[in-house]
Amino acid sequence: MTRRTETPGEISAREEEPTHVSLPPPKAPATTPLMAFDWAKKNLFSNIPNTILTLLCVWLLWETIPPLINWVLLSAVWSGGDPAICKAAEGACWAFIAEKHRFMLFGLYPFDEHWRPLLATALFVAVLATSCNPQFWRPWLLGLWAAMLVVCGTLMWGGVFGMTFVENARWGGLPLTLILSVVGIICSFPLAILLALGRRSDMPGIRAVCIGFIEFVRGVPLISVLFMASVMFPLFLPEGMTIDKLLRAQVEIIIFTAAYLAEAIRGGLQAIPQGQYEAADALGLTYWKKTYFIILPQALKISIPPIVNQFISMFKDTSLVIIIGLFDLLTTAKTALTDPPWRAFYVEAYLFAALIYWVFSFFMSRYSQYLERRLETGHRR
């Protein structure tokens, strides 16, 4: 929590412009070579150890950056589906990505139908982007999400409107990763809130159930539960009955994320002063109204950093579903490498997958920072 106190000046600045106060930056004095020299002398060469460190860093950068640029850009092979050209070249083999990107992105989904997962992913991202604007946090947004999920499901499964049916065992790559994590986020969040509230409940029964659930789930690794569910679970099911692999993975991800998230939210709940509860009680609010209007908005705001942390980590953990044979983005990238002529280009394959993961994770991180600023109302605790 930032405990900054506001000066009256800041308060009045806010009065004039309620949204974002961005004062023009103080005019920077024009930098002259002489000033740059002074700055360097003061900050980089102030004494002997400092000078040595500076020189060491310059040397390291000199040794690493140019070869890297050379490998990534200058000597890279960009196109042409021939592995031999890549082998001969010194740089990265982006031709491999060009050749295999559709498999990496969409996995085993029928090649001629790739437009369907592509469209579904685009829709998904568009609705996600819309939801990022707090102005749109209205009931209709829920409707939009429901509609989007229906449309995406239709696109992915098909079987109607002349689209061939594609069973979900063949889904893979980026759409699979996005589905697992976004559905995971949407479902685990309310569950986590209930668990966190339950853990602080006055009712011993509810409290015990919530504590038991959270502590059990946190006590075992996700990968072992996924594994047990795929290998052992079917042994206990009656003959001929199976539970869909994707559904199983999804449920496990939801349960896991919810348990960790519940603890993050509980931290926020504990930070709410007793006076807030008392004021709400004195106003006659019932437990649920008090929780919904007063406690949760404040607790969730405090918990934004750990919540987002959890989401990012869950987003990347979806790659563990390989253990039950689902082809998420990381697995498709790896599988693309099993094509013998391209086997040598694993660095490119992993870089490609890593870049996609990074874009999404980085976005989540930046978005959480934006939300925190946006929800700041100038109160001090």
Partner 1 sequence: MIAGTSVPSAAPEPGTEAAITLEGVHKWYGAFHVLQDINLTVMRGERVVVCGPSGSGKSTMIRCVNRLEEHQQGRITVDGVELTNDVRTVERIRRNVGMVFQQFNLFPHLTVLDNLTLSPIWVHKHPKREAVETAMEYLERVHIPEQANKYPGQLSGGQQQRVAIARALCMKPSIMLFDEPTSALDPEMIKEVLDVMVELAEAGMTMICVTHEMGFAKTVGNTMVFMDEGMIVEMAPPSEFFENPKSDRTKKFLSQILTH
Interacting residues toward partner 1 by CB under 8 A? 6, 11, 14-15, 18, 273, 275-276, 278-286, 289, 293-294, 297-298, 301, 375, 377-380
Distance between CA 232 and CA 262 in Å, rounded?
Answer: 28
Question: Would you call 220 exposed, middle or buried from its count of C-beta atoms within 10 A (0-12, 13-18, 19+)?
Answer: exposed
Comparison of 19 and 242: residue with beta carbon closer to partner 1: 19
* Nearest by Cα to 359 from 172, 125, 127: 125
**Least distance in angstroms from the C-beta of 279 to partner 1:** 4
Q: How far is the CB of 245 from partner 1 (least distance, A)?
A: 42
Rounded CA-CA distance 216/210 in Å is 10
* 87 vs 289 by CB, closer to partner 1: 289
Nearer to partner 1, 92 or 294 (CB): 294
Given the complex with partner 1, which of 194 and 285 has the nearer CB atom?
285
Min separation Cβ 381 and partner 1, Å = 8
Q: Which is nearer to partner 1, 257 or 298 (CB)?
A: 298
- DSSP H helical ranges for the chain: 8-16, 33-43, 48-69, 83-88, 94-106, 115-131, 139-157, 173-199, 204-219, 222-231, 233-236, 245-270, 274-282, 287-289, 296-302, 304-317, 329-336, 346-374
For residue 267, the minimal CB distance to partner 1 (Å) is 17
- The token pair at 315 is 């987003």
Measured CA to CA in angstroms, residue 342 lies from 94, 99, 159, 322, 339 at distances of: 11, 10, 35, 22, 6
Q: Which is nearer to partner 1, 105 or 294 (CB)?
A: 294
- Decide if 6 contacts 378 (C-beta within 8 A): yes
**Cβ of residue 379: shortest distance to partner 1, in angstroms?**
3
328: DSSP letter: E
> How far is it, in rounded angstroms, from Cα 74 to Cα 157?
43
Nearest distance from C-beta of residue 20 to partner 1, angstroms: 15
Residue 293 Cβ, how far from partner 1 at the closest point, in Å? 6
Residue 16 or residue 112: which is nearer to partner 1 going by CB? Answer: 16
d(CA 291, CA 296): 6
